[in-house]
Structure formats: C-alpha cells, structure tokens
Chain A
Amino acid sequence: MLSAQVVGHAISTHCHASLKGNRLLLCQPLDADGRPAGTPIVAIDRFGAGLHVKVFVSTDGLGARHLVDDPKSPIRNFIQGIID
C-alpha cells in the first residue's frame, strides 16, 4: 500500500474491459515525510476522492481483480481509502 495524493485524472476510451466505467485518478506517491516521491501513477477510484486529497493506494492485483469483479483483469492499483 502506498500513501499518495490525488493530483489529477485520466480519461481513456480504449482500455481493458475491466477498466470501463471506472474513475481513473493520477496519484502522486508520498514519502514518509509527505513529500512527493517518484512519478504519479494511475489508480481506480470507487470513493469519489477529490483533487489533492490524501489517499492510500493498494498495489495488490488480487484485491483489484475482486474490486472490478474480473478474474482476468491485469489491474493492480486502486484507492483503498481516503486519509483524514
């Protein structure tokens, strides 16, 4: 799991079937001090996380396959929770 901040969103019409209908957010991973670390990644959002909100992002493929209900989905990253 990564601590990250929502820094935007992505739009894709041509994508894997399991991504259809999902909100795709750009998430900037943060280091232990809350500073940006590395380049932003794209994660599925089912919570309606807003811009610049801190979230935690799962990197677990099994969890993502359950989330999109597709055992053949290659997706890994999804937002697991919004950090208060």
Chain B
Amino acid sequence: MRIVQVIGRVTTSLHDPSFRGARWLLCSPVEAADLDSACVRRPALSPQPSLIAYDSLGAGDGDMVGVVEGGEATAPFDHDIPIDAITVAIFDSLHYRPPV
C-alpha cells in the first residue's frame, strides 16, 4: 500500500459500463521526508507522477490515504472491473521515524 495525498477528483461522462457510480480521486505520492507531518500539514506536491485511484471510502481533498495498486484492486468487487488502484485506508496519523 502506498501513501498518497488526495489533490483532486476526476469525473467522466464516457467510461466503461462497470465504472457506473464510481468515484475517482487524483492523488499525489507523499515523499518520505513529508510523511511524519503529512496528516498535520499539507505536504508539497511530489515530482513523481500523480495517479488516479478508485475511491471506496469517501476520501476528500487533502486526506492522506493508502492506495493499493495492481490486480488486487479488483478483489472487493462482485463484477469484473478494469481498475488497478483503489483506496483502502484514510490515515488519521503517520509516525515516521527513520534510522539516524
């Protein structure tokens, strides 16, 4: 699971029929240096590419969320759905203590 910050939403009018009712989030990865304060102070945007994730939790702008990427993202669904990233946790706090 990767830690990302929600930086926006994505809406579509034309999409795969299995995406009906889906909510999509635009997410920016959180750099290691920003992890400890990420839930308190909004971290800077990452130079890494942003990703779009299926939202299963109702996360909002600025939330720190855990995103699972890969085929496992489709596991919660009863129907076939071509997604490869899904939110699985909204973090209340992150405690990052790298070795010195």
A residues lining the B interface (CB < 8 Å): 5, 7-16, 19, 24, 26, 28, 36, 39-43, 51-52, 61, 64-65, 71-77
Closest 4 CB pairs of A and B: A61-B72, A15-B89, A12-B89, A42-B1
Cα A12 to Cα B70 with chains together (Å): 22
The bracket for how many chain B residues form the interface is: 20 to 34
Does B57 lie at the interface of the complex (its beta carbon under 8 Å from any beta carbon of A)?
Answer: yes
Cα–Cα, bound, A19→B31 (Å):
24
Contact call A40/B75, Cβ cutoff below 8 A: no
Main secondary structure of the interface of A (DSSP, over half): mixed
Chain A residue at smallest Cβ distance from B85: A74
B89 with A19: CB separation less than 8 A: yes
Q: Known contacts A13-B92, A19-B89, A76-B70: does B35 contact A8 (CB below 8 Å)? A: yes
